[in-house]
Amino acid sequence: MSAGTAPGEAKQVLLTGASGALGSMLAARLSEWGWGLVLTDIRPFPDALPPGARFREADLCDRAAIRDLAAGCDAIVHFGGVSTERAFEDVLGPNIGGLFNIFEAARLADARVIFASSNHAIGFHERSSALDADCELRPDTYYGLSKAYGELMGRLYWYKHGVESISVRIGSAFPKPSTARMLSSWLSYDDLARLVAAGLRATDVGCDVIWGASANSRTWWRKDARSRIGWAPQDSADVHAEALSGIVSKDPVEERYQGGHLCSRNYTRTRPPP
């Protein structure tokens, strides 16, 4: 399947978090594949704008600005917000209030949402577990909690308002894997871009969750909705296995759980739960 748009498809997409590493990569790829883009971030766009794209600085907490940016768009690709663990107060505004503004804007615009969720929404599952997408949410941080909230917001807006959404539980999205953990969790930029494009093209979407990982043989993550949108990863961390297999931490909490180092951050238990 081509990553581009199909004849007759609507093509206008709002991309939040456009100035970040993943956002700017997606802006370039989606523009190349023929999608019309409205880009936004709280920071200036770091590169020359892709052909035909327009950019506006906006805060996710500014409901009117987000509503105006989404007007006329057929989808919102939401990669904005706090992207790692911070104090609860720092996460609260963009990742909780801002996420509400995204779904409200999508409802008003009759737009689909592709939400950058995270493996940290389920981070306290042990690495010995193989998980399907409908597994119990076990956030490992305030950041992971905000991603679990985002997935539940998607369910609310689907059942109450009919807003379509795809939550992509991103593993470790980097140009290449760098630790043994990433042999399970790595998501290549190419696979991520193809996943988002497939989510934009798909016609049979309700409220879906997809594991954001490449075709890694060591993955912990199994059944999800990828067949519904016609996406399958093409890259794999397996080629890096020999070089990375010994690159582990000395932290038993980090090495026990799928969320890795964020599980051990501010961890105060004297022993793990049964």
Helical packing angle, 21-32 and 189-201, nearest 10°? 60
List, for residues 30-80, the tens digit of each pLDDT value: 999 999 999 999 999 999 999 999 999 999 999 999 999 999 999 999 999
Active site residue 143: yes
Query: Residue 182: its pLDDT value, please?
Result: 98
Query: Residue 272: its pLDDT value, please?
Result: 85
pLDDT band of 3, cuts 50, 70, 90: low
Distance of CA 138 to the CA centre of its chain: 17
Question: What's the predicted TM-score (pTM) here?
Answer: 0.95
Q: Out of 143, 149, 157, 257, pick the active-site residue.
A: 143
What is the b/e burial string over 29-54, where b = at least 16 CB atoms within 10 angstroms of the residue's CB? bbbebebbbbbbbbeebeeeebeebe
List, for residues 182-199, the tens digit of each pLDDT value: 999 999 999 999 999 999
4: pLDDT strictly greater than 80: no
1: pLDDT strictly greater than 50: no
Residues whose CB falls within 8 Å of the CB of residue 90, separated by 6 or more in sequence, listed in order: 82
Distances (CA, A) of 73 to 14, 65, 112, 219, 262: 6, 14, 9, 35, 35
Query: Residue 30: its pLDDT value, please?
Result: 98
Mark residue 56 as left, alpha or beta (left: phi above 0; alpha: psi -120 to 50; beta: remaining).
beta
Based on its alpha-carbon atoms, the radius of gyration of the chain, rounded to whole angstroms, reads: 18
pLDDT band of 11, cuts 50, 70, 90: confident
Side-chain half-sphere exposure of 87, counting CA atoms within 13 A: 2
> Has domain 12-264 been given CATH number 1.10.569.10?
no
Query: Residue 7: its pLDDT value, please?
Result: 38
Domain locations in the chain as residue ranges: 12-264
Mean local confidence (pLDDT), 74-96: 98
Spell out where the chain has E strands. Answer: 12-16, 36-41, 54-57, 75-78, 112-118, 165-170, 172-173, 186-187, 207-212
Q: Which of 9-18, 51-60, 134-143, 222-231 has the lowest mean pLDDT?
A: 9-18
Mean pLDDT, the chain, rounded, equals: 95
pLDDT band of 274, cuts 50, 70, 90: confident
Query: Residue 273: its pLDDT value, please?
Result: 85
List, for residues 243-270, the tens digit of each pLDDT value: 999 999 999 999 999 999 999 999 999 9
Query: Residue 5: its pLDDT value, please?
Result: 57
